[in-house]
Chains A and B, each alone.
Chain A
């Protein structure tokens, strides 16, 4: 009887574990999509080392590895946040493929330290399309950041507090010393218009 139980329980453990594995990846992506520090830490623990190794082996420094990995994470993050998202491979494979492409692109771009491309002999998954989309969208993001840096204070802090840190109007009025939330709102509106103007003027010249 006891033996049977033992056998049975080991079977259960196994099935549980398989389900876990499956859920793990999904749960991790879900966590990533919602900025969950635990999920993000776990993804780092499981993936960062390999990518750091690859970049250092290919003439990069630890700093480059941080950069590239963060960029790859942003791509995965935005993928994970989209509704239609489905990852057809392991997080590991995806992050490695993206990081590798990013790094090789950088090495090639920087003519001064140009080196022949190193290729590992494994098939990584094609990520060119994701990367292109990302780079295109990043241009918009850079424009926004540049515009933010151009509008000056107190507009910058005000808009950041409202739009980036998502603080409430009364909170902002308090922080920036406006007599009431309505005053803060009017000021915010003026600042926003300036930001929009700068953003769209750059946006249009870019096109």
Chain B
């Protein structure tokens, strides 16, 4: 009985239900009686565990409700959807002749079909994403407007405090920049910085987690059209063993590196990327991979941690795909000019001309 009294008291103590006098008395009791104190301490610990379980269970309930809602909206994938991985797997196996764009279309359509069949009783579910996207476009326009206002109103004094750095490069002379989706998605605010150290505000207008391509647009009013791009983008697969090189910002200073094309597929047989042998470091993400003719063949994305010099680059085809998707969404039309002025020059000349088009991407 004494024990029950103690645990009851401990419970009231834990929940702050004691009067001040009771509290004083209770604390004195614990002080004078180590055995009682032991029981109380144990019970308090136990209550804390129970409470924690309660808090987390409640959180999980709310999260499950949220997930259900987002799933119906199509904002997140069906929980039991093992389709995607399978489709990609099959696609990887029978890849050879299928172009990335076509393959992506297969993935998308199978996806849509599965989504529709599962939700056929719920028409809203299949339609909502479109609406969502339109909303995004509107939000996007609002953001742009706000950014323009910002340009007028803010004195350019405060330096930008970035918490990560990566690389990006121009897609055309009007200030569209290619980088990785995993870069763009990390940031709320983005800036890009050219080789001369001039910073421009930018925003992500496209980001595809699957291909890992993102396209940023420089929104800064101080940005002037650059001279024509010296490089072009190669839509077809590059050749095995081709010599390649990259420029990027693993440091605050631009860094050059060269290597070779190791395999025509990437991580775990992924046909949308290449494996290349080159030395890169954190910060190189989003950098261009070029061949000796000055054609961009890919975009650096990741490396294998446990192996040296095993690096993956997204094929340039995905860039064309991104441009096409942006156009289809009627969001923007981005012109890619194919006029190469690097071909035939030696590497030093090539890099001199290139480095003006490779940017630091920073964000916070």
Contact = CB atoms under 8 A, between A and B. Distances in A.
Interface in B146-176: 146, 149-150, 152-154, 163-166
24 contacts: A21-B188, A37-B62, A40-B63, A40-B66, A44-B70, A44-B76, A49-B75, A49-B76, A50-B182, A50-B186, A52-B76, A53-B209, A56-B85, A61-B81, A63-B79, A65-B77, A115-B268, A118-B267, A120-B302, A121-B282, A123-B165, A144-B53, A164-B50, A196-B42
A113 B209 CA distance: 23
A96 B283 CA distance: 17
B59 interface: yes
Interface of B: 4, 7-8, 42-43, 46-47, 49-60, 62-63, 65-67, 69-70, 75-82, 84-85, 146, 149-150, 152-154, 163-166, 180-183, 185-188, 209-210, 212, 267-268, 280-285, 300-307, 310, 364
B181 A53 contact: yes
Given A45-B75, A53-B210, A164-B54, A11 B153 contact: yes
A118 B153 contact: no
B343 to A, nearest CB: 29
A37 to B, nearest CB: 5
A49 B154 contact: no
Most buried by B among A62, A90, A123: A62
Contact of B282 (A13, A48, A122): A122
A93 interface: yes
A75 B92 CA distance: 36
A118 B55 contact: no
Contacts of A199: 46, 49
Interface of A: 7, 10-11, 13-14, 17, 21, 35, 37, 40-41, 44-45, 48-50, 52-54, 56-57, 59, 61-63, 65-66, 70, 73-74, 77-78, 81, 89-90, 92-93, 96, 115-123, 125, 137, 140-141, 144-145, 148, 163-166, 189, 192, 196, 199-200
Nearest to A190: B4
Contact of B163 (A13, A74, A89): A89
B52 A120 contact: no
Contact of A10 (B81, B149, B187): B149
Nearest to A73: B63
Nearest to B53: A144
A37 B166 CA distance: 35
Given A163-B54, A164-B54, A121 B285 contact: yes
A121 B301 contact: yes
Contact of B59 (A14, A35, A54, A192): A35
Contacts of B302: 118-121
Contacts of B268: 59, 115
Contact of A196 (B46, B210, B267, B304): B46
A189 B11 CA distance: 12
Contacts of A11: 153
Contacts of B51: 163
Contacts of A73: 59, 63
Given A57-B212, A164-B57, A199-B46, A117 B62 contact: no
Contacts of A145: 53
A88 to B, nearest CB: 9
B81 A40 contact: no
Contact of A54 (B7, B57, B182, B282): B182
A62 B166 contact: no
Given A53-B209, A92-B186, A119 B62 contact: no
A52 B67 CA distance: 12
Given A14-B150, A65-B77, 17 more contacts: A10-B153, A14-B154, A35-B58, A44-B63, A44-B70, A49-B185, A56-B210, A74-B60, A77-B56, A90-B188, A115-B268, A116-B307, A121-B284, A121-B302, A122-B166, A137-B52, A144-B52
Contacts of B304: 116-119
A192 B57 contact: no
Contact of B149 (A14, A90, A120): A14
A45 B163 contact: no
A7 B285 contact: no
B282 A52 contact: no
A43 B143 CA distance: 20
A63 B69 contact: no
Contacts of A44: 63, 66-67, 70, 76
A3 to B, nearest CB: 12
B9 to A, nearest CB: 13
Contacts of A163: 47, 50-51, 54
